[in-house]
Amino acid sequence: MEINRTRRGFYLLLQREAVVLIQHFERNIQEAMDFLQQLEEKPGTPVLTPSDSGFYYSLEESAGEYLVEAAIYVDQLDGEKPLTSSDLQSLTEQYSVTSIEILDPKGSLVKGWPMPPPPVRHERLLRELIERKRSVVIDLFGKPVAGEGQWFSVAIWRKATPGMIVLHLTGEQMRGLFRQFAIQRAISDIGLREGVLYISVLDRQLNILAHTDSALLGRREDDDFLKSALQGREPVSRLTRSSGDIETYEVVKAFSLNGSPGGLIRIGYSPKEIHPILRQIRKNVVLSILFFLILGISAIVLIGANQKPASQKIKEMEDRVRLAERLSSLGHLAAGVAHEIRNPLNAMGWVCRDSKGNFSPGTNRKRRSILPSRS
């Protein structure tokens, strides 16, 4: 009972801490979404305050790094095995870009998705790559994300084979990346304390928008527990096992944006912190059981030792009672016998006394004088 009570109390504390963190992340996400909404409503190149410029430039840098890593990954895959149109299509969906182009060293299209590629002019983008002045060219920074017909591009020089990899995305897709990295930044502004395994943000379709493990971004969860949590307002928790068969205590709560459902925030804790406490409690319970067991045995031995003289005394008293009962019976018997003897003796005494009076010596002489003489 003590172990179970401690375990429940520990999980309750974790849930309360998770709720506080979730409320903090929810405010950060709301502020980031409000900033992006204002940014999208401003036409042309954004004019930002000093406080907002750092946040906006960090989003641009994050998007640029993300797209460069995507291009490098495409280069690695194509170097291992030539990519087909189906592979390229899957990669465009995975990285949320419009097109992927694989070019030869002169800038001519070798293959890509979709075919034909979108009408994007990238002569200036490729010139420095073809001339080998740079190995990476990013056409993202300082461009407005609002408005139609806006394109963003990233190009790298291939390492596996001579040539270039180019990724293109629209303004809408760029805004989607900004939202993703804004949410990612919202959950990363505080360091994870020891015991927190992960923090994740999911949209209403259970797609991972942000995760402390960036490799899981974009993955879709199919979990009935998460679906039910999406319908409620209160935090829910469960003890589960994550990847690698690691025991995880997970707290999930739905959040809203401007009064509308926004998705879920998940925080996974490692319950290892409670294991030393439970081991100590288990040790204390065992020691307590041993103590009371020894105390009980000692009490039983002591009671047995004290019970032997008492039993002897009780036996002596019982013997005395039985002796007294026998003596009492003998007394009653003797009284009855004496009574039975005394009655005849009394009668004999009366006869003797009567005879003594009738046959005394004087009486005998008198009787002889009266009798007639025989002579």
* Whether residue 59 is found in the same domain as residue 164: yes
Confidence at residue 358, expressed as pLDDT on a 0 to 100 scale: 64
Q: Is the pLDDT of residue 232 over 80?
A: yes
Give percent of the chain above pLDDT 90. 17
Q: Is the pLDDT of residue 169 over 80?
A: yes
Q: Is the pLDDT of residue 67 over 90?
A: yes
Q: Is residue 345 part of a domain?
A: yes
pLDDT in tens, 285-303: 888 888 999 998 988 888 7
Q: Is residue 14 part of a domain?
A: no
pLDDT in tens, 121-141: 777 788 888 888 889 999 888
Q: Is the pLDDT of residue 166 over 90?
A: yes
* Whether residue 182 is found in the same domain as residue 276: no
* Whether residue 180 is found in the same domain as residue 286: no
Confidence at residue 370, expressed as pLDDT on a 0 to 100 scale: 47
Q: CA nearest 247: which of 229, 266, 269?
A: 269
Q: CA nearest 166: which of 127, 133, 131?
A: 127
* Whether residue 184 is found in the same domain as residue 53: yes
Q: Is residue 200 part of a domain?
A: no
For the chain, how are helix, strand and coil distributed in percent, rounded to 5? 60, 20, 25
Q: CA nearest 156: which of 215, 63, 73?
A: 73
Would you place residue 97 in the very low, low, confident or very high pLDDT band (cuts 50, 70, 90)? very high
Domain assignment of residue 92, given as a range = 42-190
* Whether residue 180 is found in the same domain as residue 56: yes
Confidence at residue 310, expressed as pLDDT on a 0 to 100 scale: 66
| Distance in angstroms (rounded) separating the CA atoms of residues 323 and 373 | 73
Q: CA nearest 95: which of 120, 67, 56?
A: 67
What does the DSSP assignment read for 253-279? EEEEETTEEEEEEEEEE-GGGHHHHHH
* Whether residue 146 is found in the same domain as residue 46: yes
* Whether residue 46 is found in the same domain as residue 136: yes
| Distance in angstroms (rounded) separating the CA atoms of residues 314 and 28 | 85
In Å, what is the CA distance from 85 to each residue of 109, 111, 158, 177, 352?
Answer: 13, 8, 19, 24, 158
Q: Is residue 152 part of a domain?
A: yes
Q: CA nearest 98: which of 149, 61, 164?
A: 149
| Distance in angstroms (rounded) separating the CA atoms of residues 363 and 356 | 11
Would you place residue 73 in the very low, low, confident or very high pLDDT band (cuts 50, 70, 90)? very high
Q: CA nearest 166: which of 62, 217, 91?
A: 91
Quote the tokens at residue 82: 């030539």
Q: Is residue 7 part of a domain?
A: no
- The domain boundary residue, chosen from 128, 155, 190: 190
Task: Confirm if 88 and 112 have CB atoms less than 8 A apart.
Answer: yes
DSSP for residue 201: E
Would you place residue 375 in the very low, low, confident or very high pLDDT band (cuts 50, 70, 90)? very low
Task: Confirm if 153 and 139 have CB atoms less than 8 A apart.
Answer: yes
> What's the pTM?
0.63
- The domain boundary residue, chosen from 190, 211, 246: 190
Would you place residue 47 in the very low, low, confident or very high pLDDT band (cuts 50, 70, 90)? low
Which CATH number fits the domain that encloses residue 78?
3.30.450.20
Domain tally, the chain: 2
Residue 220: phi and psi, rounded to 5, are -105, 135
**E-assigned strands of the chain?**
99-103, 109-113, 136-139, 151-157, 164-170, 196-202, 208-211, 236-242, 246-257, 260-269
* Whether residue 60 is found in the same domain as residue 176: yes
Q: Is residue 371 part of a domain?
A: no
| Distance in angstroms (rounded) separating the CA atoms of residues 154 and 140 | 8
Instruction: Give the range among 225-234, 306-315, 316-325 with minimum mean pLDDT.
Output: 306-315
- Token pair 């039983």 in the structure block, residue: 300
